A and B are shown apart, each in its own frame.
Chain A
Amino acid sequence: MTMETKVNVTNLNLWYGDNHALHNIELDIYKNKITALIGPSGCGKSTFLRCLNRMNDLVSSCRVEGNVMIDNKNIYDKDVDEVAVRKRIGMVFQQPNPFPKSIYDNVAYAPLKHNIVKTGNDCDDLVEKSLIDAGLWGEVKDKLNTPGTALSGGQQQRLCIARTIAVKPDVILMDEPTSALDPISTEKIEALMLELKNQYSIITVTHNMQQAGRVADYTAFFHLGDLVEYDVTETMFLNPKQKKTEDYITGRYG
């Protein structure tokens, strides 16, 4: 099975002011796979995730050097429009954050602004498809005009996933998508991730190793700003090559 690299990271360094937070990260993310980023708090996994869609640009004290190649183009090049980057690389956050709009408008907002569809039937179809793909359609199809904030936590997160895929990205970044949710919602979202990977490449940060074990094809272990180990999930969990990895997985620290 040939694996296509979707994101190729080389020599990635990041500073918050004087704090050198990420050291020389080198990583290949593969297409249509789920890659999990694990590690103890403060290890830099979320910071690394945010490098992939240039969300770190929003922090004024943040400086990034290195290459994040997507489709053979370094997204940190000067001639790259970060808005175009974020169109191709979507993000789902830890706390579900639907907009104070209706469910329909939540999903339709970005595609309309990007001119992917125009208002009308095309838009309705896109909203429906996105909600179906996010596993939410059945529960909301009769109340598309009600506020997105009135949904339950798990539903809100699926709504956030729906609006992300409505923009038709290639890659979906997920920053601890289930840590604020109850176990049943978590289960639903994990099942959703396994389905979505057929269409998208998914990179997820999780502090829950069992979750990584359940959904991820590949896992990267971060520690204090370094990428310690990156391997097929099963291999890493059963046969970690680095001692630090082994210590983390066996719960020596966490």
Chain B
Amino acid sequence: MKSFELKNKRSERIEQGITALLILASVISVLTTFGILFSILFEAIEFFQIRSFWYFMTGSEWSPGVADSKFGAVPIFAGTFWITAIAMAVAVPIGLGSAIYMSEYAGDKVRDVLKPLLEILAGIPTVVYGFFAALTIAPFVVKAADYFGMDASFNSALACGIVMGVMIIPVISSLSDDVIRAVPVSQSNASLALGMTKSETIKSIILLSAAPGIISAALLGLSKALGETMIVVMAAGLRANLTWNPLEDMTTVTVRIVDALVGDQAFDSPATLSAFALGLVLFIVTLALNIVSLTMIRRFKEKYRINTL
């Protein structure tokens, strides 16, 4: 009996040690989130000690290079908004349309081919999209605008937005497809039995039920668009340009962050620190979008009791 007890104590300690190790590993993901938050926050606070927060959020002149450098981020926010809006205008209809076709109209064999094909779009590195945007789509936009008698920059927001939109299509289509398939078939049966056409059934009943999931997919896509870097660094402009015209060049938050940090400026200069201020705004906005989106998906899963999402 004695050796039995002794053995228990030793193996118990090993067990505890291993469990502690596992917990430690798990904590690292929490540490990472806080690490990101604090490293950005810390430097951003330093920035706001030497430049006005109010002007940052509402001012419209961004000129880091001059002696009396001004950092009004409104044009940058506007450029980000515009390019993202164009991207969503491309991605949501096409992503949702593709998802509806795959889940409601396509046969199984067709679906098995199409779904992986769309996944390929998701796996292409963004630097490759950026190259395509800068070297093929942007010149095409210039030519097309010229054909209609308009002037387009080689760094047009339109080119960036279109390519970014294509990049986001799989985010929306994949999640929407899963969500639409999760709607019980009894709903569409009821609608069809009342003499509705298939498209009426889809529009009025299925999309209604799937709406939370689809909105959630759109929010995730939006978050991804806001944080996208390579496409805009390669194809968008550097100029903080406040304008409505999508054919002009604009810049985004991510472009300015990269620009501020790859130069040779001192790390403590306002220009460099401005990157962290922008990074803080980006972090907060994408975090908010992600939380809303993930909460909606969780509620949707609970409602239809699915494990596959």
> CB distance B195 to A87 under 8 Å?
yes
Picked from A86, A95, A109, the residue with its CB within 8 Å of the CB of B192 is A86
Q: Can you name 19 A-B pairs with beta carbons within 8 Å?
A: A53-B193, A58-B189, A58-B192, A83-B195, A83-B196, A86-B195, A90-B194, A93-B186, A93-B190, A97-B187, A99-B191, A99-B205, A100-B187, A109-B194, A110-B196, A113-B200, A163-B194, A164-B194, A167-B195
Cβ-based interface call for A75 (8 A): no
Complex Cα distance A114/B196, Å? 8
> CB distance B190 to A86 under 8 Å?
no
Cβ contacts under 8 Å, B186 to chain A: 93, 95, 97
A186 CB to nearest chain B CB (Å) = 20
B111 CB to nearest chain A CB (Å) = 13
Interface residues in B183-215 (C-beta closer than 8 Å to A): 184, 186-187, 189-197, 200, 204-205, 208-209
> CB distance B195 to A97 under 8 Å?
no
Cβ contacts under 8 Å, B208 to chain A: 99-101
Cβ-based interface call for B149 (8 A): no
Cβ-based interface call for A150 (8 A): no
> CB distance B194 to A110 under 8 Å?
yes
Cβ contacts under 8 Å, B192 to chain A: 55, 58, 86
Given A95-B186, A100-B209, A109-B204; A90-B193 close (CB under 8 Å): yes
B156 CB to nearest chain A CB (Å) = 42
Convert B164-190 into 0s and 1s, putting 1 for each residue whose CB lies closer than 8 angstroms to a CB of A. 000000000000000000001011011
Complex Cα distance A72/B192, Å? 24
Complex Cα distance A37/B189, Å? 21
Complex Cα distance A125/B208, Å? 26
Cβ contacts under 8 Å, A53 to chain B: 193
| Interface magnitude class on chain A | 20 to 34
> CB distance A113 to B196 under 8 Å?
yes
Cβ contacts under 8 Å, A239 to chain B: none
Please report A residues at the B interface, Cβ cutoff 8 Å: 53, 55, 58, 60, 83-87, 90-91, 93, 95, 97-101, 109-110, 113-114, 160, 163-164, 167
> CB distance A93 to B189 under 8 Å?
yes
Cβ-based interface call for B107 (8 A): yes
> CB distance A97 to B189 under 8 Å?
yes
Cβ contacts under 8 Å, A86 to chain B: 192-195
Cβ contacts under 8 Å, B200 to chain A: 113
Complex Cα distance A164/B192, Å? 11
Complex Cα distance A58/B189, Å? 9
> CB distance B204 to A55 under 8 Å?
no
B191 CB to nearest chain A CB (Å) = 7
Cβ contacts under 8 Å, B204 to chain A: 109, 113
Residue of B nearest to A83 (CB): B195
Most-contacted residue by chain B among A55, A58, A98 (CB, 10 A):
A58
A220 CB to nearest chain B CB (Å) = 21
Residue of A nearest to B209 (CB): A100
Given contacts A58-B192, A101-B208, 15 further A-B contacts (CB under 8 A): A55-B189, A83-B195, A83-B196, A85-B195, A86-B194, A93-B186, A93-B189, A93-B190, A97-B187, A99-B187, A99-B191, A99-B205, A109-B194, A110-B195, A114-B195
> CB distance B190 to A160 under 8 Å?
yes
> CB distance A84 to B191 under 8 Å?
no
Complex Cα distance A163/B190, Å? 10
Cβ contacts under 8 Å, A93 to chain B: 186, 189-190, 193
Most-contacted residue by chain B among A53, A87, A97 (CB, 10 A):
A97
Complex Cα distance A99/B192, Å? 12
Cβ contacts under 8 Å, A97 to chain B: 184, 186-187, 189-190
